[in-house]
Amino acid sequence: MASQDHTEHTSHSNPGMSETVFNLAMNSDGLSTLTSNINTQIASSVNTLTANVNTQLTNMRTLTSALKAEIEYATTVNRCRHIYDDKYSSFPTITFGTNELQICIHGMRSSPGQFLLQFNEAEKHNLKHPGSIKIFAPPVVKAGLEELEICGDAIYAQICPHLDLITRLNIKIVILGISNGGRIGLYLYAKIFESHPTAQLYFSPLGSPIQGTYLADFAEKTGVYKMTAYRSCPEVLSELKRSNDIYQQLLKRCQKDPNFQSRTRCYVSTKDILIYPHDCGILEGHDNQIVNDVLHNGLVLKYAKEQIQWCISLIDS
């Protein structure tokens, strides 16, 4: 009987032991899976954190570089611009050897010398090709603190007497604008095309509110403009608003030129808070050079040479 009991006990205990071993095995697999999932999540979190840190570091480096460009602009271009203010303020003599006329329109509260970097590049070209590029960089009425039509018409009046000759000689007219100068340049493009539709016109604004800017809407709505130069010319601020339809009207006039889209190049920075949002400074479907490494004035410092190289490339096109 003892032997039989022992046999029965053994036979009943084996299934239990097998189940225990099975459960342990199952628990072991579950533990491995859990450990694997935890490791995966940790690795994913570490990778995400690393990516975020790298992004922030990149943004900090970009911002630091952009701020340095603003300081360099202030200590070079802005400090020295007055030396160049009168250099090309008179309309140049157009000759048979002239290939291109560059009309340079400076920004708000600035002066023609703001184009000194562009002047230097154009002059280098003229050393090899004397007289090829002629430059006209007039001062803008009240340094731009005047209504668009008044500023544009004053410049057009100086150009108009020469347009017949320029058109007859097939000389390219490249209108360059910095900041507010691009806004005036857009007006000039429309004005010249309407009077001389066969003129070979080109347009390149640099950090320009060619479709207004929401910053102007904000300044007017909050009254902040009263602490700026715009307090004496609120009508100019009103023109600068993104909500002003003056730009749509101008674009419609420019678009009557079938070559308008293929003859423009716009430069704008996504970090330029004065042109906000940045698509205020571009034209849809045109050659838009959108950068993110500079602020407002840094565009002039870093992209003036590239802008003029584009202008020079037009001579042989």
37 and 113 co-located in one domain: no
Confidence band for 37, pLDDT divided at 50, 70 and 90: confident
154 and 232 fall within a common domain: yes
pTM beyond 0.85, yes or no? no
Are 111 and 82 in contact, with CB atoms under 8 Å apart?
yes
User: Tokens representing 228?
Assistant: 């700026």
Give the distance, in angstroms, between the CA of residue 102 and the centroid of all CA atoms in the same chain. Answer: 21
Asked if the structure places residue 199 within a domain, the reply is: yes
Are 65 and 95 contained in the same domain?
A: no
Q: How far is CA 21 from CA 6, 32, 74, 193, in A?
A: 22, 16, 79, 91
More confident residue, 16 or 186: 186
| 81 found inside a domain | no
Task: State whether 45 and 160 are in the same domain.
Answer: no
The domain boundary, picked from 51, 75, 99, lies at 75
Residue 159 sits in which domain range? Answer: 86-313
**What would the pLDDT profile of 157-190 be if each residue is shown by its tens digit?**
999 999 999 999 999 999 999 999 999 999 999 9
The pLDDT value recorded for residue 1 is 46
Does the residue 90 lie in any domain?
yes
Of the three residues 11, 44, 75, the one that is the final residue of a domain is: 75
The more confident residue out of 41 and 85 is 85
Q: Are 77 and 110 in contact (CB under 8 A)?
A: no
Q: Indicate if 243 and 109 belong to the same structural domain.
A: yes
Cis peptide before 277 (omega within 30 of 0): yes
Assess whether 90 and 65 both reside in one domain: no
The CA-to-CA distance between both ends of the chain, in Å, stands at: 114
